[in-house]
Amino acid sequence: MIKYFKVWWLMTSQSIQLFFVSRLGAVLFLSGKVMRFIFFFAFLLLLFKRTDVLAGYNFYEVVLFYFTFNLIDSTTQMLFREVYRFRYYIVSGNFDMILVKPVNALFRSLFGWTDILDFITLGPFIALIIYVLLKIPHITFAGVFSYILLVFNSLLIATSFHILVISLAVITTEIDHAIMIYRDVIGMGKIPIDIYTEPVRSLITFVIPVGIMMSFPVKALLGLLSFSTVFSTFFASLILLFLSINFWKYALRKYTSASS
Amino acid sequence: MLKYFYVTKNSLMEFLAYRLNFVLWRVRVVVSILITYFLWLAIYSGRDRIFNYTQGQMLTYIILLTFLSGVVLSTQTSRVAEEINSGNLSNYLIRPLNYLSFNLFRDLADKLINTFFAIIEMALILLIFRPHFILQTNPLNLFFFILSLIMAVILYFFISLLLSFIGFWSREVWAPRFIFFILVAFLAGTYFPLDIVPRPIYALFELLPFTYLIFFPLKIYLGNINGFFLIKGFAVSFFWLIILYQLVKIVWQKGLKAYTAEGK
């Protein structure tokens, strides 16, 4: 465990050093991320000029969903930025170099690059979430505890999805669109999933668990989820993780080391 | 002229060479449109009109976004920056072709394939979800819609080309393009029709070229517009076309002087 932490820290410090190499690019990328956040927030503000509630949630509750989405999404991108570069390793055959090293190939493929730009955004997102929490009445300690637990659970689901995507890349060499489809779909969680009508709502809760990832933490915080639902959510996430790791093992058996 | 036809043909074949990539790309387009579609459908539940748009108008706007994004926002000009940075531009400069025309025809392949599939996807969305879709039948509206669409295509081509020309002076070409994508997504009206924002902000938007990429053609298609809106819109579009064309010419010439074929 300590060995893996040291490897991760080494790879992370390298990615931080590279951030300082192209400072202008980093500043521009960061500005882009901030702009994207502000634009959608402006859209929510516009929407609430015409309505008091959206799917039964007031303004502060809806922005809490949006801020939580950003927290989970940014953390995921910060941790798994390497996935976006994974195709290069496969098509160039350089994945061989990862396989022969005495570090788990899945660990290396997922955590090889930590995005410092997303890390920078985490602090403000947490501050915004705390600010909004103070604006919502009747928040309980149990609610906050469930919220934190379910955010970790969302990261577990995100990990599973990233494993599935890189496994697909090993088999097909396709990754760019697959990862962007994942990101587009989880983008549905920027707002409470209750807003969507059936069958979309069931689809994004049970088939593609966007709802579990993005909406459940806030719902638990607001006291809208039962204990049994929270418990079964963890169970479902662990099954998804188990399946994704097995798919990765299957994909490795199909790896042909083309171009190497 | 025949050589440019082959540029388009080869680019089309490139698209079809990576079929899974292609299929997933189209899936992504449909998914992103459906997300916006369901979002607006949900916002309209129990309401007839929001921001001066009926549900039919808004859903038509969202569905037509598939088509317009395919025609206007699809481009291969981002490859220009890569070609400059890798030194591959030299290969084109020594060939008996005009590099800007070459890019125009390479873009044509992108737009053809996008438009073709966007029409199929739009038809599928209409068949499956059966939304209230406004079919514009007024020939005058359709004429101005097509005219604004052509202008939007050229505007986007020039803007995207200018962004790629950054490659002449910097290797940092993706970060400006990333910001550009985000700006276009919001300021061109792919999130929502731009005239729902407060009046002073919309007045500012009207002066920017982005407004005329998506929002302006779609607004014309939907109808309910006056002559002043049309004249003003076309005048600003035309102004930007002239400015951007001149800029492309100047920056290209200056860029060529700065070009060192580094990497080759």
Sorted by sequence, the CB contacts under 8 Å of residue A90 that are 6+ apart come out as A169, A170, A173, A175, A255, A258
**What integer pLDDT is reported at residue A206 of this predicted model?**
77
Does residue A22 fall inside a structural domain? no
pLDDT tens digits for A107-130?
A: 999 998 888 889 999 999 999 999
**What integer pLDDT is reported at residue A38 of this predicted model?**
93
Residue A55 to residue B42, Cβ atoms within 8 A: yes
A chain contacts of residue B27, beta-carbon cutoff 8 Å: 177, 181
pLDDT tens digits for A158-178?
A: 999 999 999 988 888 777 777
CA nearest B172 in A: which residue? A25
Residue A65 domain boundaries: 2-7+30-254
- The mean per-residue pLDDT over the stretch B66-87 comes to 87
A48 touches chain B (CB under 8 A): no
B6 touches chain A (CB under 8 A): no
Confidence class for position B118, pLDDT limits 50, 70, 90 = confident
- The mean per-residue pLDDT over the stretch B75-103 comes to 87
- Residue pair B11/B76 in contact (Cβ under 8 Å)? The answer is yes
Please give the share of chain B, as a percent, with pLDDT higher than 70.
Answer: 99
A206 touches chain B (CB under 8 A): no
Residue B38 to residue A200, Cβ atoms within 8 A: yes
pLDDT tens digits for A64-111?
A: 999 999 999 999 999 999 898 888 888 888 888 889 888 899 999 999
**What integer pLDDT is reported at residue A148 of this predicted model?**
94
- The mean per-residue pLDDT over the stretch A209-234 comes to 88
Confidence class for position A260, pLDDT limits 50, 70, 90 = low
The C-alpha of A48 sits at a distance from chain B's nearest C-alpha, in angstroms, of: 11
Q: Is the pLDDT of residue B13 over 70?
A: yes
Angle, helices A2-21 vs A23-50, to 10°: value is 90
Q: How many residues can be counted in chain B?
A: 264
**What integer pLDDT is reported at residue B163 of this predicted model?**
93
pLDDT tens digits for A16-41?
A: 888 778 788 888 889 999 999 999 99
In angstroms, the CA A14 to CA A29 distance is: 18
pTM for the model: 0.86
Q: Given the structure tokens 């953390």, which residue do they identify? A: A75
pLDDT tens digits for B132-144?
A: 888 888 999 999 9
**φ and ψ at A95, to 5 degrees?**
-65, -25
- The mean per-residue pLDDT over the stretch B24-45 comes to 80
Residue B196 to residue A46, Cβ atoms within 8 A: yes
Does residue A25 fall inside a structural domain? no
Confidence class for position B191, pLDDT limits 50, 70, 90 = confident
CA nearest A54 in B: which residue? B43
**What integer pLDDT is reported at residue B214 of this predicted model?**
94
Does residue A14 fall inside a structural domain? no
**With the C-alpha atoms ordered A225, A226, A230, A233, is the resulting torsion angle positive or negative?**
negative
> To probe the interface with B, which of A43, A171, A175, A191 has the most B CB atoms within 10 Å?
A43
Closest Cβ opposite residue B191 in set A35, A43, A180: A43
Residue B175 to residue A181, Cβ atoms within 8 A: no
Mean pLDDT of chain A: 88
Please give the share of chain A, as a percent, with pLDDT higher than 90.
Answer: 40
Residue A197 DSSP code: P
Name the pairing type of β-strands B49-50 and B53-54.
antiparallel
B30 touches chain A (CB under 8 A): no
Q: A231, A233, A98: which is closest to A154 by C-alpha?
A: A233
Q: What is the 3-state secondary structure (H, E, C) of B159-221?
A: HHHHHHHHHHCCCCCHHHHHHHHHHHHHHCCCCCCHHHCCHHHHHHHCCCHHHHCCHHHHHHH
**With the C-alpha atoms ordered A70, A71, A72, A78, is the resulting torsion angle positive or negative?**
positive
**What integer pLDDT is reported at residue A153 of this predicted model?**
94
Does residue A189 fall inside a structural domain? yes
The C-alpha of A178 sits at a distance from chain B's nearest C-alpha, in angstroms, of: 7
Instruction: Give how many domains chain A has, as a whole number.
Output: 1
Does residue A72 fall inside a structural domain? yes
pLDDT tens digits for A217-227?
A: 999 999 888 88
A chain contacts of residue B181, beta-carbon cutoff 8 Å: 32
**What integer pLDDT is reported at residue B166 of this predicted model?**
92
Q: Is the pLDDT of residue B101 over 80?
A: yes
Higher-scoring residue by pLDDT: B21, B110: B110
B chain contacts of residue A201, beta-carbon cutoff 8 Å: none
Give me the residues of B, 164-183, that contact A with CB < 8 A. 170, 172, 174-176, 178-179, 181-183
In angstroms, the CA A30 to CA A220 distance is: 31
Does residue A142 fall inside a structural domain? yes
Question: Is residue B54 helix, strand or coil?
Answer: strand
Does residue A23 fall inside a structural domain? no
Confidence class for position A259, pLDDT limits 50, 70, 90 = low
Does residue A198 fall inside a structural domain? yes
> To probe the interface with B, which of A57, A184, A195, A196 has the most B CB atoms within 10 Å?
A184
B128 touches chain A (CB under 8 A): no
CB contacts < 8 Å between A and B, how many?
83
pLDDT tens digits for B210-260?
A: 999 999 999 999 987 888 899 999 999 999 999 999 999 999 999 999 888
Q: A80, A76, A70: which is closest to A127 by C-alpha?
A: A70
Residue A197 to residue B45, Cβ atoms within 8 A: yes
A54 touches chain B (CB under 8 A): yes
- Residue pair A173/A91 in contact (Cβ under 8 Å)? The answer is yes
CA nearest B193 in A: which residue? A43
